[in-house]
Structure 1
Amino acid sequence: MIRVRVTAPPGCSRKKLDERGWMELPDGARLSNVLKALRMPKLLARLLMVSINGAVASPDTELADGDSIAFFSMISGG
Structure 2
Amino acid sequence: MPVHAVGPGDDVDAAYRTMRRSAVRRLPVLDEGRLVGVVALDDLLMDVSRRLSELLGAVSWCVLAEPPGGQMPRAG
Do both proteins adopt the same fold according to a TM-score greater than 0.5, normalized to the shorter chain? no
Q: Which has the higher contact order (CA 8 A, sep 6+)?
A: 1
Question: TM-score when scaled to structure 1?
Answer: 0.25
Q: Which has the higher helix share?
A: 2
Question: TM-score when scaled to structure 2?
Answer: 0.26
Q: Which has the higher strand share?
A: 1
Rg comparison, structure with higher value: 2
